[in-house]
Chains A and B, each alone.
Chain A
Amino acid sequence: MALDMAKYRRIFLEEATDHLAEISRALLDLEKEMGNVEAIDTIFRMAHSIKSMAASLGYDPVAELSHRLEDRMEGVRAAGRVRDPEELSLLFRGLESLEAMVSAVSNEAEPVPADDALMTALQSEPAQDAVVLATAVAPEAVGGEPKKVRG
């Protein structure tokens, strides 16, 4: 049987846009309180939902990045808090990349895969985040302060 994928694309755009706004709000809450359990759970669920919808529509870059974000948030959930401002910056960067991808879908363009540095940082052991991101984004920053992306 064939599903009306144009209809699901419209629903995806509506729901993904809402979910990204919720992730953004939750990240801002985490800026104020890194152990905000509700915010952590919201980001996890929103990333999970975006992943499933994107996979259903074949938007692989969206599915892969949201899957990576979901996995990362599972770790944050287990820890009970975002570890430090660097990890929060990483999550903001994941959000920005997802927003760009959904915007591309909205403009009927193919979403561009997230850059390798982000994907690697999201899956790396927490202690490695700063080094991985700094190496890829600003090599000269290695050993110095990690580059803050947003927030």
Chain B
Amino acid sequence: MARVLIADDASFMRQMIREIIEPEGHEVVGEATNGIEAVDLYNELQPDLVTMDIVMPKRSGIDAVKAILAESPTACIVMCSALGQETLVMEALQAGARDFIVKPFKPDSVISTLKKIVEKAD
């Protein structure tokens, strides 16, 4: 099971991810509400995995991915994308994000994606 940092400016989405993954045994160690916080909290908490929204204030999710991976090349980051963000998802994956989950979240899909990434990282 993984220590997870959730980065999303919407409380709605942060709570939903938490509610989906905690029963699976994952521990949410932090929540970031913008891209700057995401990078800072990653460096402070060193989570096993980050769920990263793409559209966030102050610093985009993609910029945050690039900043985290520049310092921590093995960081496991999963993008949270929405309809119409295919190009941005591709950019994030090319930057080094491991995978993506799509809003609206389907709990089973979120769980299986995180499970796959955690198993690969082990």
Q: How far is the CB of B21 from chain A (nearest CB, A)?
A: 10
Interface residues of B in 65-100 (CB under 8 A from A): 82-84
| Pair A52/B82 contact, Cβ less than 8 Å | yes
| Pair B55/A3 contact, Cβ less than 8 Å | no
Q: A residues within 8 A CB of B84?
A: 67, 70-71
| Pair B16/A15 contact, Cβ less than 8 Å | no
Q: A residues within 8 A CB of B108?
A: 1
Given A1-B107, A48-B82, A71-B84, also A53-B19 (CB < 8 A) = no
Bound together, the chains give a CA A4 to CA B12 distance in angstroms of 12
Q: How many residues of A contact B (CB 8 A)?
A: 22
| Pair B82/A15 contact, Cβ less than 8 Å | no
Of the residues B15, B23, B83, contact of A11 by C-beta under 8 Å: B15
Mask: chain A, 4-17; 1 = CB below 8 Å from B; 0 = not: 10011001100100
Interface residues of B in 53-67 (CB under 8 A from A): 55-57
Q: How far is the CB of A59 from chain B (nearest CB, A)?
A: 10
Interface size for chain B: under 10, 10 to 19, 20 to 34, or 35 or more residues? Answer: 20 to 34
Bound together, the chains give a CA A11 to CA B10 distance in angstroms of 10
Q: B residues within 8 A CB of A8?
A: 12, 15-16
Q: B residues within 8 A CB of A48?
A: 55, 82
Number of A-B contacts (CB under 8 A): 57
Q: Does any Cβ of B come within 8 Å of A128's Cβ?
A: no
Given A3-B107, A56-B103, also A45-B9 (CB < 8 A) = yes
B13 and chain A: residue at smallest CB distance: A52
| Pair A1/B23 contact, Cβ less than 8 Å | yes
Q: Does any Cβ of B come within 8 Å of A55's Cβ?
A: yes
A71 and chain B: residue at smallest CB distance: B84
Q: Does any Cβ of B come within 8 Å of A97's Cβ?
A: no
Interface residues of B in 24-76 (CB under 8 A from A): 55-57
Q: A residues within 8 A CB of B10?
A: 15, 49, 52-53
| Pair B104/A15 contact, Cβ less than 8 Å | no
Bound together, the chains give a CA A52 to CA B20 distance in angstroms of 16
Which residues of B are at the interface with A, using a C-beta cutoff of 8 A?
9-13, 15-16, 19-20, 23, 55-57, 82-84, 103-105, 107-108
The 5 A-B pairs of least Cβ separation, nearest first, read: A56-B104, A55-B104, A52-B103, A11-B12, A48-B55
| 20 more A-B residue pairs beyond the given contacts A1-B107, A8-B16, A44-B55, with a C-beta to C-beta distance below 8 A | A1-B20, A3-B19, A4-B19, A7-B15, A8-B12, A8-B15, A11-B11, A15-B10, A15-B11, A15-B12, A48-B82, A49-B9, A52-B13, A52-B103, A56-B103, A56-B105, A57-B104, A67-B83, A67-B84, A71-B84
